[in-house]
């Protein structure tokens, strides 16, 4: 860190993304064996003797984990992300992966993601996969021209980015990203990094959804904070915003919008719970219940222009 | 769930909730009031959510001896859409995380997180030096 170097994170208002994290496979499948166990030894022996693996750096005391990533799992996730982008008229879907290193798992996610885009949404999307092909066949200028025209015609851009580069770009150029589709572990890091970027740790909402069956569980993303149980002091925003996601999911967007406007208004007035109070100057400290009442008193009163006017006068 | 993959939602849907452990019950109580008020205002009282409690976590363990009763999973399936507060991950003896268990049993394949800046939200790098 060099003093005086300007921080690139000066425009949090440019962060407006929605992360679709694959939730059922990847290394979260829990297939792993601890170093020194008979299972680890057996697995290592299988790798070396039957699979011809020669590049285990320290055989004998390595632990092992298996990372299953499937075509079915990747495609249903990317399909959901693309559908969301199309339904909400969003500009792009970015597939975030580490396919340069893990060619068949993370690289497979990218390949399968592009396949879904081209095979199932070919008339509504333009992919970087197509761009590569066009460049190869007709040159870069032509590829750029086709992309420009496709986006001008309102097609959804489906692109991809290597995970480490993506984590830099969300700080430097957050405007370039809208819907993000990624694997389980990457999604874990990315969700938390982005929540931190907008100061939203502790209030971030989340939903776990099966878009085929319709099953959905929306949830507060923070922990149980048992030390503070019964103190009526904690911030209820995570579960409230998760409820807004639920309301939108069932098509009751009007109700969700009333809540987000009212929550925004309470924050603008700096009438907040202890977590925000501690970091703001000139704030008023509210209990959990008082913060709830603050939101409730604003619901349906200050919306749209009226709310902005009120906010800016403070 | 309709034939075209669209949810058909009645004006008085039953939505199951898990209030959660630790600070869960107090934040849930506040949140529920907020939801009910917003729905009433948005639709002039023509729509209303019928909340139905599902047991999970410590409360479930105290009442039923199970951290995640089978009935809870069934209720979540019957009503399709539900909401939950934070849950304790039980320690020891091969009990899996309740969050993970629900995701697996309902095959909730997409974890969806919107990230957007609310004005005046606190940015960690704006915290004065003396506090660090």
Question: Look-up: residue for tokens 């040159």?
Answer: A139
Closest-CA residue of A relative to B101 is A24
This complex has an ipTM of 0.89
Residues of B in contact with A262 (CB under 8 A): 34, 38
What's the predicted TM-score (pTM) here?
Answer: 0.89
Distance CA A234, CA A226 (A): 11
Q: Which helix (H) or strand (E) holds A17?
A: strand A16-22
- Contact between residue B83 and residue A230 where contact means Cβ atoms under 8 Å apart: no
Work out the angle between the directed axes of helices A237-249 and A253-268 (0-180°, nearest 10). Answer: 160
Mutant choice from B12, B13, B37, B38 vs A, greatest count of A C-beta within 10 A: B38
Cα–Cα nearest to A157, from A133, A121, A188, A191: A121
Q: Does A254 touch chain B (CB under 8 A)?
A: yes
Nearest to A15 among B37, B82, B116 (CB): B116
Residues of A annotated as catalytic are 28, 98, 164, 188
**Which pLDDT score is estimated for A6?**
60
Look over chain A and give the mean of its residue pLDDT values, rounded to a whole number: 91
B37-96 pLDDT, tens digit per residue, is 999 999 999 999 999 999 999 999 999 999 999 999 999 999 999 999 999 877 665 566
How far is the alpha carbon of A52 from chain B, nearest alpha carbon, in Å?
A: 34
At residue A312, does pLDDT exceed 70? no
At residue B4, does pLDDT exceed 80? no
**Which pLDDT score is estimated for A29?**
82
Query: How confident is residue A308, by pLDDT bands cut at 50, 70 and 90?
Result: very low
Mutant choice from A74, A190, A199, A270 vs B, greatest count of B C-beta within 10 A: A199
Residues of B in contact with A287 (CB under 8 A): none
Query: How confident is residue A247, by pLDDT bands cut at 50, 70 and 90?
Result: very high
Q: Does A170 touch chain B (CB under 8 A)?
A: no
């Amino acid at each position: 860190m060099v003093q005086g170097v300007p921080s690139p994170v000066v425009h949090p208002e440019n962060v407006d993304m929605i992360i679709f994290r694959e939730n059922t496979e990847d290394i979260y499948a829990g297939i792993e064996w601890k170093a020194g166990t008979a299972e680890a030894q057996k697995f290592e022996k299988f790798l070396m003797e039957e699979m011809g693996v020669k590049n285990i750096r320290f055989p004998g005391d390595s632990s092992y984990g298996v990372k299953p990533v499937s075509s079915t799992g990747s495609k249903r996730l990317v399909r959901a992300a693309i559908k969301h982008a199309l339904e909400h008229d969003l500009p792009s879907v970015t597939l975030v992966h580490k396919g340069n290193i893990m060619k068949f798992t993370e690289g497979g996610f990218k390949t399968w993601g592009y396949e879904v885009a081209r095979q199932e949404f070919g008339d509504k999307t333009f992919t970087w996969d197509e761009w590569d092909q066009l460049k190869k066949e007709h040159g870069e200028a032509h590829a750029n021209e086709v992309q420009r025209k496709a986006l001008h015609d309102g097609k959804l851009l489906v692109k991809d980015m290597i995970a480490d580069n993506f984590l830099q770009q969300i700080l430097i150029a957050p405007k370039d990203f809208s819907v993000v589709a990624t694997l389980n572990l990457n999604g874990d890091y990315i969700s938390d990094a982005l929540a931190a970027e907008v100061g939203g740790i502790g209030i971030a909402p989340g939903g776990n959804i099966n878009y085929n069956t319709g099953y959905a569980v929306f949830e507060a993303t923070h922990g149980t904070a048992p030390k503070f149980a019964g103190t009526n002091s904690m911030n209820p925003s995570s579960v409230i915003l998760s409820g807004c996601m639920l309301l939108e999911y069932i098509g009751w967007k009007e109700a969700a919008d009333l809540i987000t406007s009212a929550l925004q208004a309470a924050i603008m007035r700096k009438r907040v719970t202890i977590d925000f109070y501690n970091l703001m100057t000139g704030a008023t400290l509210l209990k959990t219940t008082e913060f709830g009442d603050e939101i409730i008193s604003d619901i349906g009163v200050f919306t749209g222009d009226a709310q902005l006017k009120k906010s800016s006068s403070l | 769930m309709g034939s075209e993959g669209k949810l058909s939602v009645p004006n008085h849907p039953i939505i199951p909730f898990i209030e959660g452990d630790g600070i869960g019950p107090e934040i849930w109580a506040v949140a529920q009031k907020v939801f009910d008020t917003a729905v009433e205002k948005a639709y002039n009282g023509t729509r209303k959510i019928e909340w139905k409690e599902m047991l999970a976590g410590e409360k479930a363990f105290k009442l039923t001896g199970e951290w995640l009763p089978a009935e809870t999973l069934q209720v979540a399936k019957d009503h399709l859409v539900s909401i939950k507060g934070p849950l304790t991950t039980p320690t020891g003896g091969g009990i899996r995380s309740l969050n993970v268990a629900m995701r697996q049993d309902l095959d909730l394949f997409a974890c969806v997180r919107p990230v957007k800046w609310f004005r005046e939200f606190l940015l960690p790098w704006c915290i004065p030096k003396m506090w660090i």
